[in-house]
Amino acid sequence: MSRMVRLAGLVCWFILGAGVLFFAQAGRAEDKLVLLLKPTRNFPSYDLIISGVKAGMADVAGARIEEYVYNDDLADVITSRNPAVLIAIGREVAAGIIPLTDVPVVYSDLVIGRSGVFVDPGVSLVTLNVSFGKRLEYLKMIVPDIKTVGVLYEPEQNSLVVDEGEKVAAKMGLNLKKFPVTAPKEVRGFGDFGVDALVYIPDTFTCQPMVTKYVMTWAMEHGVPVIGISSAYASAGTVIAVEPDYFDNGVECAQTAASILAGVKPFDLPLVMPRKFNYFLNQALANRLGIKFSDDVVRGAAEVFGK
């Protein structure tokens, strides 16, 4: 065989090998590329979560993060960028991308009811839900002598949450009165709730403005403190409200993504619950109800309304 023929053969083998290597690399996810997928609507809470994700990913050696706003072209973006993990902010984004890809997904969401959780081996949830027990802890912080607490809820969505809350309340020496409601007229039908305090939980029915207004009005007229689910509730008329620390939720998303980058399967990761919280107070309403906040309680509040 002539030298030229041997040389041509080597060149062919080189080209073939390079081609195989190219396609193998093209089909492999970028080892530490994370796509942060944001909703089209901007909310302060989402902005804090996104900031937390960026801060958390900055601590992951070698990780790279790219941001994209959720739209119809995301499937093409995911295919072309070939990331190792996707972080979705909010249920709308998660619901849109999970059916489109096999890439592991970490998503942040407030879950209401059992249908709110995506059951998929490639998905990991970092929830924004504050546990029932944590709400009771904050309630007792400002009114330690309460004995009977009421909760309004839509049974199909929150029966399991309330049943578990009943057990937690009993361990705390509290009696939980349950008020399942499916129509506005049922709320008025309760008349005197016969409770020392009321607890709000995320619920698409009881959190409707008409129902919330009625409950808050009744509570103020009867001197009953209510704990709300967000700062907006404390501003509008609950004596206290508790919400997750949204920035830290973003950090938890990043840490969950880091576990996946390290080789852990999403299916093997536990549900991630909030570990930090912020509470908000309504000083004017507390004065009206005869509730005195301690200096420590006031100092610990993220914001105090009605000073």
Tell me if 214 is assigned to some domain: yes
pLDDT number for residue 232: 95
- Which pLDDT does position 10 carry in this prediction? 36
Q: What are phi and psi of 176, to 5 degrees?
A: -100, 120
* pLDDT tens digits, 70-109: 987 888 999 999 999 999 999 999 999 999 899 999 999 9
20 within a domain of the structure (yes/no):
no
Is the domain of 300 the same as that of 215?
yes
Q: Are residues 120 and 252 both part of a single domain? A: yes
251-276 pLDDT, tens digit each: 999 999 999 999 999 999 999 999 99
For residue 53, pLDDT beyond 60: yes
* 104 and 205 share one domain: no
* 64 & 148 share domain: no
Beta bridge mates, 35: 66, 86
d(CA 250, CA 47): 10
Q: Do 206 and 119 share a structural domain?
A: no
In a domain, 8, yes or no: no
Asked if residue 22 belongs to a domain, the reply is no
Query: Token pair for residue 69?
Result: 């706003």
Contact of 179 with 196, CB cutoff 8 Å: no
**Rg, Å, the chain Cα set:** 26
pLDDT band of 30, cuts 50, 70, 90: low
pLDDT of 27 over the 70 cut: no
Residue 80 lies in a domain: yes
Tokens of 306: 């009605």
Does residue 184 sit within a domain?
Answer: yes
Are residues 254 and 115 part of one domain? yes
Provide φ and ψ at 105, rounded to 5°. -120, 130
Q: Is residue 227 part of a domain?
A: yes
- Give burial (CB, 10 Å; 0-12/13-18/19+) of 56: buried
**Does residue 219 belong to any structural domain of this protein?**
yes
Cβ–Cβ < 8 Å for 114, 271: no
47 and 104 in a common domain? yes
Banded pLDDT at 24 (limits 50, 70, 90): very low
Predicted pLDDT of residue 231: 96
Pair 188, 295 in one domain = yes
CA dist list (Å): 53 to 96, 147, 213, 279, 287: 20, 40, 35, 22, 39
Look at the chain and report how many structural domains it folds into: 2
What pLDDT, on the 0 to 100 scale, is given for residue 116? Answer: 59
Q: Are 125 and 107 in contact (CB under 8 A)?
A: yes
Q: What is the DSSP letter of 30?
A: P
Indicate whether 112 and 214 sit together in one domain: no
Which residues span the domain enclosing 234?
A: 132-243+277-305
State pLDDT tens for residues 168-221: 999 999 999 999 988 877 887 666 788 999 999 998 888 888 888 888 998 999
CB 176 within 8 A of CB 166: yes
Instruction: Match 């009321």 to its residue by tokens.
Output: 198
Whichever domain contains 255, its CATH number is 3.40.50.2300
Cα–Cα distances in angstroms (integers) from residue 298 to residues 142, 162, 226, in the given order: 10, 29, 17
- 17 versus 231: the higher-pLDDT residue is 231
Query: Would you say 172 and 140 are in contact if contact means Cβ atoms under 8 Å apart?
Result: yes
Q: Which residues pair with 152 in a beta bridge?
A: 179
Query: Beta-strand (E) ranges in the chain?
Result: 33-38, 64-69, 85-89, 105-109, 123-127, 148-153, 175-180, 197-199, 226-228, 240-244, 277-282, 303-305
Q: What is the pTM of this model?
A: 0.87
Asked whether residue 119 falls in the same domain as residue 237, the answer is no
Residues 251, 239, single domain; the answer is: no
Q: Which residue has the tokens 């400002």?
A: 142
Percentage, residues of the chain above pLDDT 90? 71
Same domain membership, residue 292 and residue 176 = yes
